[in-house]
Structure 1
Amino acid sequence: MARPKSEDKRNAILAAATEVIAEQGLGAPTSRIAKLAGVAEGTLFTYFDNKDALLNELYLDIKADLREVMMATYPMRASTRERAQHVWNQFVDWGVAQPQKRRAMAQLVVSDRLTESARATGMQSFADINAMIEESVASGTLRDHPPAFVSAIMAALAETTMDFIAREPAHAERYRRAGFEAFWNAIAQH
């Protein structure tokens, strides 16, 4: 009879995968991930059928963490600009506080190893934000860009902002505000 799977071991594998992928990229060996997680490589494959399954689960795990941070205090009834600024601030703060997750996610989102199902689930996690974008486009508040494109613009500008905050933490608020203004000017109708 097979042993029941441990949530602690699964989480340890995902944490190790985050660290190893952030450092070595998607080509990092599963043996390194298993060693860092404190499990045998065979155990890793008890939890994840193959490396692609691990990468897809890691993507969803990081997306879930980011969603929790962004949406816990999301101001549903605020203006479009206030909601966009909330999302921006939460994302930038998360990225600065979680550099390994940020680096791992940056590699995962451009990977052809992610399934369409994982990508769709990841986007669905942010349905409230996507709905806000679509409503704001329809009302003329935002430019007519698809939500995925708006997210890509935000991610690119946020990466620059996070890099500057990491280099010059004393100027974090200045960079956070300047980054948001650049983002808002890229998406808002004027």
Structure 2
Amino acid sequence: MARPKSEDKRNAILAAATQVIAEQGLGAPTARIAKVAGVAEGTLFTYFESKDVLLNELYLDIKAGMGEAMMGAYPRTGSIEKRARYAWLQYVNWGVAFPDKRRTIAQLSVSDRLSEQTRAAGMRPFADINEMLEASIASGVLRDQPPAFVAAIMGSLAETTMEFIERDPAHAERYREAGLEAFWNAIARK
């Protein structure tokens, strides 16, 4: 009779995969991930039938945590600028708090190893932000750009902001505000 799977082991494998991928990239061997997780490589494949399954589940796990951080108290009302500011600050704060997850999700996001279903599921926690962007574009508050393009601008500017905060934490607030200002100026109509 097969032993039941342990949530602790599954979580250890996901945490190890985050760390190893942040350090070595998506080509990191599963043997290394298993070693960091403290399990045998065969055990890794008991929990995830292939590396692609592991990568897809890792993406969803990181996106779920990011979604909780960003959307937990998201202001569904108020000005577009207030809501954009909230999303920006929560994303930057999450990325600074979890640099390995940030680096791993950046690699996973451009990987061809993720299924379209996984990508769609990973975006569900952010539906309110996407709706806000679409409504803001339609009403003329924001420039007429596809929401995915606006998200890419946010991601790029936020990544730069997070890198500067990591290098110079004493000036973190300055970088947060400067990044936000650049983001808002890039998307808002004048």
TM-score, normalization by structure 1: 0.98
In structure 1, what residue type is equivalent to 2:162?
M
Aligned residues: 190
1:20 aligned partner: 20
| Amino acid paired to 1:129 | I
Q: Tell me how far 1:122 sits from its aligned partner.
A: 1.1
Unaligned runs of 5+ in 2: none
Determine what percentage of the aligned residue pairs are the same residue: 73
- Per the alignment, residue 55 of structure 1 pairs with 55
Kindly state the Cα deviation for residue 30 of structure 1 after the two structures are TM-superposed.
0.3
Q: Which amino acid aligns with 1:180?
A: L
Matched residue, 2:155: 155
* Structure 1 alignment gaps of length 5 or more: none
Q: Write the deviation string for residues 113-154 of structure 1: whole angstroms up to 9, x where unpaired.
A: 111111111112211110111111111111112221111110
CA–CA distance in 2 between the matches of 1:186 and 1:90?
Answer: 19
Tell me what 1:72 maps to.
72
Shift of 1:189: 1.1
Answer whether contact 2:30 2:51 (CA < 8 A) is retained: yes
> Residues of 2 paired with 1:107 and 1:52: CA distance?
14
CA distance in 2, matches of 1:2, 1:133: 49
Counterpart amino acid of 1:81? E
Question: Which string of whole-angstrom CA distances, capped at 9 and with x for unpartnered residues, describes residues 76-117 of structure 1?
Answer: 112111111001001111111111001111111111111111
Runs of 4+ in 1 over 2 A off after TM superposition: none
Cα deviation, residue 4, structure 1: 1.3
Contact 2:71 2:125 in 1 (8 A): no
> 1:37 offset after TM fit, Å?
0.7
* 1:84 to 2:84 alignment: yes
Tell me, in whole angstroms, the C-alpha distance in 2 between the residues paired with 1:8 and 1:126: 27
For 1:50, the aligned partner's letter is: S
TM-score, length of structure 2 as denominator length: 0.98
Task: Give the RMSD, CA atoms, in angstroms.
Answer: 0.8
Residue 136 of structure 2 aligns to a residue whose secondary structure is helix
C-alpha distance in structure 1 between counterparts of 2:73 and 2:168, whole Å: 27
Q: Does 1:127 align with 2:127?
A: yes
